[in-house]
Amino acid sequence: MNTFLVILNIAILLVLIGVLIKMQQKHVSFSKRVFAGLGFGVTLGVYLQVVFGASSDIVSQTSDWYSIVGSGYVRLLMMIVIPLVMVSIIQSITNLEKTSELGKMSGWIIGILVSTAMVAAIVGVGSSLVFDLNAEQIEAGQAEQDRGSYLEETLGSVQDMSTPDKILAFIPANPFEDMTGARPTSTIAVVIFSAIVGIAALGVRRKNPEQAAVFTKGVNAVYAIVMRIVTLVLRLTPFGIMGLMATTVAQTNVGGILELGKFVLASYLALLVMFIIHLLLIATGGLNPLTYLKKVLPVLTFAFTSRSSAGTIPLNISAQKNSLGVDEGTANMSASFGATIGQNGCAGIYPAMLAVMIAPTVGIDPLSPSFLIQLVLIVGISSFGVAGVGGGATFAALIVLSSMNLPVYLAGLLISVEPLIDMGRTALNVNGAMTSGTLTSRILGKLNHDKFNDSHAVEKDIAV
């Protein structure tokens, strides 16, 4: 009987995939297909949750099959992240006239990312205080206790890293190892290696233009191939979002959400406030925030469902270049840096909220100026190198809590709502990266305003 029901659920998914294919054949816009996939996924997930229950074997087996579509799509995106980052940055730098442009671009991008992460920490503190969050109010079951123990064990490796160690982790000792994504800072390490290659190419261009021309021609050819692969993968976005959302909704622990509902509400209020701050920053740059929001929604939808900032890099770069009019170099840099530096949700809001919740349990007043100043500064420093995949928020929380001498095991109390909150955090992280790219391009005078304001300037190659 179970086998029959699982086959039935798979058949339903295949029918919905067929509907999305029909929409593509009828040239329905890319954005509409993305939101159709989202709607199908939510509906399918609710059906599985209501009919079978989140913890049933049928849902577990069905989700395994659905993950071929959802997790398979994420794997394809992760597959092209490193080649895309590497060849894009090398190509972007070789197209620069002066190396000083690279310094200005990187400085503005990193400055915006880190400063908004510090603002996000303040927002997280405010939301925690508004909802009067306190870790002592949450009861710990066996799963929460196990999670707390795991965090304490993980803390050992994090505590041993000094700030210089964290900076050194960015420098690629073995770029080929980093191309496998072996370390949390692998993406940044690849960015740095690619930047060095690009700068070296500029130096060769001055001394031996013929050799530089051969290299540049080869890079441009590889870039064209990589971007074609990106286009082919991105066309699968509506299907991937449907599979991811169906699995997420079907397996969501509703009881845990209800029990920790106040923390969930506080988290999403903080995320919403930070989204609004991003839009206000866009507006201060003389750009229409509603136009910006309309163009980034498909990217944020995928970030929300996948919970992977790194996996969203290809969509991020494509949307910045093709929809927002951001110049190529800035789009590549901001998307790459934003996946591991200054993540507003994971490295800003979340650790700050935990710190405010946990502080009273050890007799610390979370409203004291010394506590708040220390918290914001530590968040800014620790926002470097947070892994751009699921779990990065835990890493950031461990750094912040241990730096402030707060017990980390209490963070395990939130295990049941972690996936739900992480979806919103990831969307905010990605939006922060896109905001930094858009503002940097605008500040440096490289933004294509006509493309930004053109409602038809969307992923035209993807939409067909």
The neighbouring-strand residues paired with 384 are 341
Question: What is the residue range of 233's domain?
Answer: 2-463
The rounded distance, in Å, linking the Cα atoms of 80 and 233 is 9
10 Å CB burial of residue 14 (0-12, 13-18, 19+) is exposed
C-alpha R_g of the chain: 22
Task: Assess whether pLDDT exceeds 60 at residue 159.
Answer: no
In this predicted model, what pLDDT tens digit does every residue of 348-405 receive, in sequence order?
998 899 888 888 888 888 889 989 999 998 888 877 756 544 456 776 777 787 778 7
Residue 243 has pLDDT above 80, yes or no: yes
Question: Which CATH number covers residue 224?
Answer: 1.10.3860.10
pLDDT tens per residue, range 41-58? 989 998 998 888 877 888
Neighbour count for residue 361 (Cβ, 10 Å): 13
Q: Do 255 and 97 form a contact (C-beta atoms < 8 A)?
A: no
Contacts of 137 (CB under 8 A, 6+ apart): none
Residue 307 region by backbone torsions, left for phi larger than 0, else alpha for psi between -120 and 50, else beta = left
pLDDT digits (tens, 9 = 90+) for 274-296: 999 999 999 999 999 999 999 99
Distance CA 295, CA 322 (A): 10
Please provide the size of the chain in residues.
Answer: 464
Q: What is the pLDDT of residue 410?
A: 62
| Per-residue pLDDT, 137 | 57
What percent of the chain is modeled with pLDDT above 70? 84
Kindly state the helix (H) or strand (E) to which residue 40 belongs, with its residue range: helix 30-52
The confidence score (pLDDT) of residue 451 equals 92
pLDDT at 259 over 70: no
More confident residue, 353 or 234: 353
Tell me which residue of 142, 139, 122, 140 sits closest to 130, measured CA to CA: 122
* Residue 157 confidence (pLDDT) above 90: no
Higher pLDDT, 351 or 252: 351
Burial degree of 209 (CB within 10 A; 0-12, 13-18, 19+)? exposed
pLDDT tens digits, one per residue of 298-330: 899 988 988 888 888 888 998 999 999 999 889
Name the DSSP letter for residue 347: I
Tell me how far the alpha carbon of residue 121 is from its chain's centroid. Answer: 17
Q: Is 106 helix (H, G, I), strand (E, B) or coil?
A: helix
Mean pLDDT of 56-76: 89
- What's the number of domains the chain is made of? 1
Q: What is the pTM of this model?
A: 0.79
